[in-house]
Every structure is written in structure tokens, then in C-alpha cells.
A and B are shown apart, each in its own frame.
Chain A
Amino acid sequence: MIQRLAILWVLLGGSVLAAEFTRADRDWWAFQPVRQSAVPDAGGDWAINKIDHFIARRLAAQELSPATTADRRTLIRRVCLDLTGLPPAPEQIAAFLDDDSPDAYEKLVDRLLDSPRYGESQATFWLDLVRYADSDGYKSDHYRPEAWRYRDYVIRSFNTDKPYDRFVREQLAGDEIDPGNRDALIATMFLRHWIYEYNQRDVETQWNEILADVTNVTGDVFLGMGLQCARCHDHKFDPIPQRDYYRMRAFFTPLLPRDSMPVGTVSQRFEFFEQHKAWAAATDDIRRQLHAIELPALLKNTTGEGFSKFIDRIKTMVRKRPEDRTGYERQIAELSERQFGVEPEKLPERLKGGMKEEWERLRAELKSFEAQKPKPLPQVKFVISDAGPVAPATRIPKKGDDVEPGFLSILNPGSARITLPPAALRSTGRRTALAKWITSPDNPLTSRVMVNRLWQQHFGRGLAANTSDFGKLGEPPTHPGLLDWLAARFVADGWSLKKMHRRMVTSATYRQASANAQSEQADPANTWFARAPIRRLSAEQVRDGLLAVSGELDLESGGEGVVADESNRRSIYRKVMRNSPDEVMHTFDSPDHISHMPQRNVTTTATQSLLLLNSEWTRNRAAALAKRLTKRHPGNAEAQVAAAHELAFGQAPLPSQLNDALAFLDACGAANKPSGLAALAEYCHVLMNANAFLYVD
């Protein structure tokens, strides 16, 4: 019997007590395999695609009827903002209104998905999730000159509809799975977006926090599971024992932040590695002697924060030759070395006498091996790799035992099976194993989490309301069958995001009007989706929208970030400085880019009103719009007002609104004696403050 138990124990992976989990834990909806839900019959004539049958079934059960279909002008503004982040231009509206074909709307959706604006808009939501920024955070908030390459990578990936599973694998393990692909290496910057304090002398604690950060963000972004609770104790609500937290963290324990990383296929890396190994072996003795001479001289005169401020334990790690360091020593030594510089060019003046002669002799000798050195591979900056093929231990604090990498044990109790990558990559293969598990079609979380995030984008709330917490503190899905059907479709469609967006925004559910008296009464929270939500524009949509309306928007794509205040480019291309956020962005609830943000706050504040009413930035947009209108319709106030209305709201003005506008222009002109242009600018400024601009329905 005991023997049998032991076998069972081993079968279960030996690491987690099976009894740890209750029946309720195991039965939790998010841990069940994604079901191939049967599409319900409900929906009849109303339904356009499968989504609608699922929605209709629930509506029938709640005795609710869907809203009418939104009119075309409403619909085009909604779908343009949802898919491209920009309001429709009058020409786009006209083309759509004039298209009588039955699939006019579908064609519009395809045009929007094909537009480069789509990826730029989608990137916003992804960068919120991964806490992307162009600066370190902390006191000095140093600029990160390479980070923007990740932002462009995300935009590119969305625009080319890179399969989501590939997108995830590149970000977690691009260096292992496709080392010759520059984009795959840039993707690993996902693991570099942590805040970083350049002068933190407690290096080991900082490293500990960095590993915690990447563990947490991985759980949040891909799995919709808050792991951080389990860092210090077993999760109080979800079946995540503390050991699981460290099993997950063990995938990242070998990480090494790299400021320079070779780009090369496995065979190129192999060739380099072998040559380098031979050169290193041939010169080992010389370099050892050189190290002994150079190191004391170099460490005696350091620049930056200096070497002397570290505790002895760290000094010892730094003094070791890189090739003699363990993986952990390499991590800590290199992190410490970021704090100071050495001046090898000054060695000739700093070395004296016989020591200097010896040094010169060794240098010359080393130089004679130069030809044997491999030619350097092209490099990419600000990425991450492993510190070597041997992973440092992952230890549960205060308990002291080492933990092997493993997944959430409620889903997979055994240790992860790790395949060591080719030796030339100097990597453990751990992150590849994690990426494979996360993107396995059988993983019940990954596909559900992602389709639920897209649903939130288009319908205002996820089918499971807490899009990054599928645990017990989140809320179970309102439409579990639909969620599973979408998740299964997503995988079956080759993890195509564009197909999923298309499916959602072409549904009858999406095309509903925002008014539905019955649903407003019976279902004020719109749990059953019997109407479209009315939503305030996001910070990016406010800023980009105002620039688009004023005709100033600069649509240049990609490249290093710009200062939002000084540029008319899209907000996605602004420098995201953590300690000095752009005012418009921040005021309209752009997150702090320090931690994961799955759903932005939406606030209504007087600060926003003051910014829109009184700031120079907004007034300049209004002035530009006024100029644009006078150019287009010189001397014709009525046409100017109508054009302004359509630009800002996507609607023609009502006769009463036109009258109000003309009366306003008269009164403004008469009272202040400004030129017509100034009065028109004041009018435009009012439109830019209006709810019809700030909200979409």
C-alpha cells in the first residue's frame, strides 16, 4: 500500500500534495478544458453570426430583446474608434453611407483591419498589459533608448496578424526558439519592462524584485491569474500554493538582462561559440594573468556610482573573472557593474614599473591571438537571455528547499519537462518550456483570457468581468458557453486576432444601438448585452481624435518616441516617461505603466474639464480646426459649422444646433470684435469639449 502511494506520489510529480486541492478547487470553471460548445438555436432572424445565437439565448432567458441596429453614422464612428482608435473622416463616412451593397459594413471592417492604424491602436491595450515604458521609473527615471523597438514590434505583430501563440512564445523565449530572428529577440523586451533603480546598492534584493515582477506579469498577462498573492503564502482564495509561485518563478530564475545580444541562427551561434571556445582556451592563461593585473587597477578608479559602496559579498562576485562566475554570480555581478564604469584606456598611466612592463607584454601576447577570434555577430540591445545553461537555484524563502520549474499544479502537478537548447545558445530552455505550456491548445486559460480581453474592448466588459483574474476573486463568466466557443474558434483559426476582432464587430450584438429602454430598466449594468455600451474615449483617443479633427495628426509610423506635447504624432509613439507622464494622457486615465493594467479606470473630473477648457494645447487644436474650416469653406459660416460637426461628432448638426452655432458666432464676433476666425475657433473649442465628441455609442 505504501509503495502504491509512493508511485502515485511520483506520478503526481512528487512536488505538490494532491490532497492540497479541494473538489471545489478542481471544479473551478477556469481550470476546466475549453469545451466545444454547441451553438444554440436562439436568435432567429436577428442573428448574423454564431456569437449572436449565444447572446440571444441568454436574452430570451432574461426576457430581454436586443436593441435595434445602430444607424450607419453611429456604427462607423464606433467601429473606427474600436479598431483604429481614430474617429472616421468625413470621406470615410460618405463612402460608407454611399455603399449600398449588402456587405458594405463587412467591407468597412476589412478596410479598418487592413489599415496600419489598427496595429497602432491595438498596441495601446497590449502595452498597458505589459507595463511598457521608455524610462526606468525611480528617482532619475532614466530614458531607455531602445525600448521603443518593442512598441514597434507589437504594432508590427498586430498589423501582420502574427498568430497569438507565436506572439506569446517570442516574448517569453524568442532568444531560445528563434535566435537568428531580430524581431524574436526584440520580443523578449517583454521581460525588461520592470522598473529599475540605477543606484540600488542592495543589488540582490533588487534582483529578487525583478524576478517577482516578471513572474507576476506573466501570470497576469497570459494566464489571467494573479500569482503575486502566493509569493509570501499560499493564495488565500485560489488554489495556488506558495510552492507554485516559485515553480513558475523558476522559469525565470536563470534570466540575464542583456544590453548586447548576438543575433544569429543556431548554426551561426554554434560557429561563433566553437571559435570563441578555442580562442578562450588558447588564451586562458594570458587572460588570467591580465585579470590579476588589471582588475585591482580598474576597480581602484571607477566612475559612476563607484565600486566601493557595495558590501563585501558583492565585491567578491564582481572581482571574479566572468567565466569563473556561477550563473547567480553573473546576474548579481553584472547588475552591480551597471552602477559603475571602469577606464581600461587609462591603464597605461595607472600601471607602473615592472607591473606595467608585464602588462604590456601580456597584452601584446594576447593580441597575437586576435586572428583566432570569431567575427562578432550583429547585436541587438536591451533584451534578455539566460545567464548560462545551468540555472541558479530557486528557493522558497524561510523554507529553504529548492524548487524545480513547474506549472500551476492544479493544472499540471509534475515538474516541467525541459529540453536543453543547443549548447551554443548558453540557455536553459526553461522559458521555452513555459511558452509551450502557455500556448498549448490544451491550456484552459490562455485562449479564454485573450478572447475575453478582446470582448472587453468591443463590448465594454469581459464575458468574465475581471479580465486578468480568472480566479475566485474575479467573477465567473456571464456566458460561459460563448467564452468557450470563442476560445476554441480562436485556436482553430490559428490564433488569428484579426479574425476574432472581425467576428466580434460584425455580430448583430455589436451592431446594436446604445438605446434600449427595456434593457436599461431591467439590466442597468448591461450584463446580457442587449445594447451597445456608451463609452468615454480613452486618453489616446481623446488626444489623437482632437489632432485628427483639427487636421494636424501626423501619421508617420514607428521609430523612437516623441514628446507628446511637442509632436502631432499618434499617442502610441510618445515617450512614456514613468515619472513625468504626458498631461493629456494622464488626465484621461492612461495608467502609470509601472504595473499591469487590464482595464483602465474611467474618471470624470473637473481636472479634465479644466484641461479641455483652458489649456493652451486644446485651444491650439481648436484654432487649427478653425483654420482648416475657413480654408475649406471660405466665408460660409453654415458650411463651416456643418463640417465641424461632422468632423468632431460624425453627425450633421440638427437645424437647432446650426442656429445656436450661428448665433454663438455672431455674439462672439460682436462682443469681442475678434476676426471671424477667432470666433470660429471658440466654437470649435466648444465642440472639442462636448460629450458628443468625448463619448462613443
Chain B
Amino acid sequence: MNFGAQVTDEIFSRRELLLRGGAGFGALALSGMLARDKAFADAGSLAPGQAHFAPKAKNVIFLFMEGGPSHIDLFDPKPLLNKLAGQRMPESFKRPITAMGETESPLLASPRTWKRHGQSGAWVSDWLPHTAGCVDDLAVIRSCWTNGINHSGGVCQMNTGQPLAGRPSLGSWVNYGLGTANENLPAFVVMTDTKSTPTNGPRNWSAGFMPAAYQGIRLSPGAEPFRHLNIPKGVTPATHRRKLELLRRLNEQHRATREHQSELEARIRSYELAYRMQSAAPEAVDLSRESEATRRLYGFGNRDTEPFGRCCLLARRMVERGVRFVQIYHGAGSKWDSHSKMEENHSRQCRQSDLPTAGLLKDLKSRGLLEETLVIWGGEFGRTPMSEKGDGRDHNPTGFTMWMAGGGVKGGQVIGSTDELGLWATEDRLHVHDLHATVLHLLGIHNLDLIYRYKGRPETPTINEGAAYTKITSG
């Protein structure tokens, strides 16, 4: 496509919007309004809501199993592993550098019961009975690989494309590329199942070198869904309105002699938006409007499943209202990290997440939302066939499983494979860049054509690499 021409038109239309003000001011959204001339000139952004080509998906919900779930105990059965359990990995397997240096430790059997499920007959272990019931909606990708061998690098890379910090996260790129569909809510929302902070903290959903307007905004279930949303205690609504009115007058007087400065107008609007948000957000997070059946579907009423279920239900409500990209951390703070006591760890993690995950898929489907909502499941890496501390597994970045569902993905397929022990991805290997390119592809964005200029250099979401696995829509 001829990007240059489009950018010019786009600059013009946004500038015009800014200057026009009033009712035509649709482009200003919570997650941002760039207001510096330079920023317009630099923008390689698409027109809000406009993709490179017809999108399959409108929204994304990324269920991030933080800490690294064990693919060989969940989606990728390895009979050879149980056969060789207790022995050293045969010499024929190439040795990776692992986080804990467990390359020569004895192989650890997977004691799971495996079954084929659904019409597609995909394998899922007994740890995920509810997800197994949805398997015909999933494209299980067994051949993922990444570079980061530690949590920090791994989580960073799964979010931003590279293990080193500093780049915008995928949600920011989507926000930058597609803009928002609801100007009263952020375009990119992040939740965690507990109060724990995920590895790397807010850096995971930061906009990196892009303006902060594109970063993810944390949504917390409770009285104040977004930070500083509520009018402070001790300020009556009447006083609050009076203050906003005085502020508006001051700003109008200030602007009267500075008509040409569109940023001042944008600032005035940002206060109006904040005001609108104060009424829109509480409704968006009000789960009391959900039926008992729906709540049960997400695991409400059960101490194990409710925290993650609440996030999943909120995610559905967000995408219903046009939020573009929702990310939920399950096991925030590396809780899936099972260097020892695999059995105990994964039993707990699966118990907490399996039912709400399936609930989300079913709920989206029954409301007709799954077709336009891409759901992604996975962690920053998988786990090794080699044991650690006798009953755990080390990090495995060289081969692991993720799945995608909805948003144009053809369900009931298994993509790629790992070697006979599940250590290295072998067929149809998909690097994080390819996975990100695939997500963008489903959203109608070509990964190499979405450009942001940083320090004069054209930057793309997948660092000029990666290709979408387009067969994901057809199987």
C-alpha cells in the first residue's frame, strides 16, 4: 500500500479534528490524543478503526499464564518422555542454555492422563477438563519459541517482541494502529488475577518509545476501576462541577489569545473526557448486572476460580464496549513457575484458570462475540522435559504451546510440533514475532506496514521480522 499518501491525509484529518473542536472531536479518547505537531508528522498511524485489510477480529483478549505453563503436561503429550523418565536426555538432543542449568538432569515423567477431545480429537490432559470441552474452538500451536530464557526477558518478549526492555507492547501497537472504538474507555486494558504485580511490572503494558497515550491502563475490580477516577472524598459533586466550570472558564480565557494552539483545546477536552469516563466506567465494571448463570459460568462463588473468573467476565464486558485489547495475567508474579512440585503447582494453577477460561469462550460464543474476539492463551515459555529439584521443570523457551480461538481462527486444529521430548519446536516453528504478526494479521494489520518513527527510524511491531501464520484461519 502507498503508506506515505495515507499518512498525509491522516495528519490532515486529525489536525482538522483538533482545530474544529466541538462535536466533531471524536478522535480524542482516554488513551490519548497526541497534540504536538511533531507527533503528527511522525505518525504512521492508521486512521482510527481502519485496518490495512479486512480484519477477522476486532478485539483481543490475551490470557497470560505467567511463569510458564508446562506444555508437555497440558497440550503436547510425549510418550517417549515417560519411557526415558529418570535417565539423562539422549545425546542426540541438542542442549539449550537453560535458566537453572538443568540440561543434564534426569527426565521427568508426566503422570497425566491424556485424551483426545471434541470432533477434532486434539489432545488435552486431565489438568484442563473444561478447556478440553472447548477444543474444537481452539487452534493449538505446539511449535512456539522465544529467546528470553528468564521470566523477565520472556514476559517482556511475549509482550513487546524482544527480551530487552524498551519497546512498545503488542497492545500499544494495536492501540496505535487501530485506535479506540469507545472514547469513554481506554483502548488497552490490563488486569491481574491477584494483587501481585507481574514480572517487570507496568513495563509489560507500556508504550516503550511511543507516547504514553498508547500504553495499557490497569483496570482493578472494585470501587475505583481506573486510577484516580473517583472524585476525592470531601469534594461534593456540586463542588466538583463548580471547579470544572471555573477551570473551563480559565482555560477558555487563556485560549482566546492562542486560538492556533490545538493542544490547548485538546487539554480542555481531556477534562471533559475524564468527566464522561467517571460515569461510563462504573457501569462497564458493574458485574451485578450479570445473571447468576453467567456468573456461575465464570466460576463465581468458588474461591479458586472467582478471582480469574472476575477478570474474564470483565474482559467480556470490556470488548462488548469496544475496548480493543484486554490482557489478563493469571498467576501474576510468576505463579505458574514450577521449578519444583510440578504436581502441586500446576494442579492449583489449572484449577484456578481452567473453568473461567472455558466460561469466557462459551460466553463469548453464545453472545456471538467470539467471531470478532481473538482469545489467546499462553505464557512466556514452556517447561523442560528435564527435571529440576526432583519434581519440577526448568524454563523451556525453545518449544512450547499457546492457543488461539475466535477472531477468525479456525478451531479444532493443531499447528506445528516439538521433538519427541517436547524440548525444541520442530515443524512450523512460530517465533514470538510470528505469533505477534499472526495476531496483527487477524486484526487486519500487516506487521511490516505498521510503522512508528522513533529517532527518525521506522519501527515496526515485530522488529522487521516475523510472518503471520495465515493458515490459522483456514486450517
Q: Please judge, given known A-B contacts A613-B271, A660-B249, whether A229 and B457 are in contact too, CB under 8 Å.
A: yes
The one of B30, B39, B227, B456 in contact with A605, judged by C-beta atoms closer than 8 angstroms, is B30
Residue among A229, A468, A604 having the largest count of chain B Cβ atoms under 10 Å: A604
| Residue A616 interfacial (CB < 8 Å) | yes
Contact B455 A598, beta carbon cutoff 8 Å? yes
The one of B29, B30, B249, B458 in contact with A473, judged by C-beta atoms closer than 8 angstroms, is B458
Contact A139 B100, beta carbon cutoff 8 Å? no
Which of the four size classes fits the interface of chain A? 35 or more
Residues of B within 8 Å of A689, CB to CB, are: 247, 271
Q: A150–B229 Cα gap in the complex (Å)?
A: 38
Contact A603 B273, beta carbon cutoff 8 Å? no
Residues of B within 8 Å of A474, CB to CB, are: 456
Q: A310–B231 Cα gap in the complex (Å)?
A: 54
Chain B proximity of A672: nearest CB distance (Å): 6
| Residue B301 interfacial (CB < 8 Å) | no
Contact B242 A309, beta carbon cutoff 8 Å? no
Q: A473–B232 Cα gap in the complex (Å)?
A: 47
Chain A proximity of B234: nearest CB distance (Å): 8
How many interface residues does B have (CB within 8 Å)?
80
The one of B33, B201, B211, B257 in contact with A580, judged by C-beta atoms closer than 8 angstroms, is B201
Chain A proximity of B145: nearest CB distance (Å): 15
| Residue B92 interfacial (CB < 8 Å) | no
Interface bits B437-456 vs A (CB < 8 Å: 1, else 0)? 00000000000000001011
Q: Please judge, given known A-B contacts A595-B166, A691-B268, whether A671 and B33 are in contact too, CB under 8 Å.
A: no
Residues of B within 8 Å of A461, CB to CB, are: 38
Interface bits A654-697 vs B (CB < 8 Å: 1, else 0)? 10110011001001100110000010001101110111101101
Residues of A within 8 Å of B250, CB to CB, are: 657, 660, 686-687, 690-692
Contact A596 B277, beta carbon cutoff 8 Å? no
The one of B35, B166, B201 in contact with A579, judged by C-beta atoms closer than 8 angstroms, is B201
| Residue B239 interfacial (CB < 8 Å) | yes
Closest-by-CB residue of B relative to A581 is B202
Q: A487–B89 Cα gap in the complex (Å)?
A: 64
Query: Which B48-76 residues have C-beta < 8 A from chain A?
Result: none
Q: A685–B263 Cα gap in the complex (Å)?
A: 21
Query: Which B374-401 residues have C-beta < 8 A from chain A?
Result: none
Contact A536 B263, beta carbon cutoff 8 Å? yes
Closest-by-CB residue of B relative to A515 is B257
The one of B36, B153, B251, B260 in contact with A520, judged by C-beta atoms closer than 8 angstroms, is B260
| Residue B99 interfacial (CB < 8 Å) | yes
Contact A465 B166, beta carbon cutoff 8 Å? no
The one of A311, A473, A536, A695 in contact with B97, judged by C-beta atoms closer than 8 angstroms, is A311
Residues of A within 8 Å of B235, CB to CB, are: 682
Residues of B within 8 Å of A598, CB to CB, are: 455
Contact A691 B251, beta carbon cutoff 8 Å? yes
Query: Which B135-154 residues have C-beta < 8 A from chain A?
Result: 149-153
Residue among A592, A604, A606, A615 having the largest count of chain B Cβ atoms under 10 Å: A606
Query: Which B90-120 residues have C-beta < 8 A from chain A?
Result: 97-101, 103
Query: Which B241-264 residues have C-beta < 8 A from chain A?
Result: 242-243, 246-247, 249-251, 253-255, 257-258, 260-261, 263-264
Which 10 A-B residue pairings sit nearest by Cβ, starting from the closest?
A: A309-B101, A469-B456, A139-B152, A601-B211, A473-B456, A466-B456, A520-B260, A610-B228, A609-B274, A594-B166
Interface residues of A (CB under 8 A from B): 137-141, 195, 197, 199-202, 209, 220, 226, 229, 308-311, 461, 465-466, 468-469, 471, 473-475, 514-515, 520, 524-526, 534, 536, 578-581, 586-587, 589, 592, 594-599, 601-611, 613-616, 619, 654, 656-657, 660-661, 664, 667-668, 671-672, 678, 682-683, 685-687, 689-692, 694-695, 697
Please give 15 more A-B residue pairs, beta carbons under 8 A apart, in addition to A607-B228, A609-B270.
A220-B455, A469-B457, A514-B258, A536-B263, A579-B201, A604-B213, A606-B270, A607-B30, A609-B271, A613-B274, A668-B239, A671-B239, A686-B246, A691-B268, A697-B258
Q: List 25 A-B contacts (CB under 8 A).
A: A139-B200, A197-B150, A197-B153, A202-B149, A209-B164, A580-B202, A595-B209, A602-B211, A602-B263, A604-B267, A606-B270, A608-B270, A610-B229, A614-B228, A614-B231, A654-B253, A656-B253, A657-B253, A671-B238, A671-B239, A671-B242, A686-B247, A687-B250, A690-B250, A691-B264
Interface residues of B (CB under 8 A from A): 29-39, 41, 97-101, 103, 149-153, 164-166, 199-203, 206, 208-213, 217, 226-232, 234-236, 238-239, 242-243, 246-247, 249-251, 253-255, 257-258, 260-261, 263-264, 266-268, 270-271, 273-274, 277, 453, 455-458
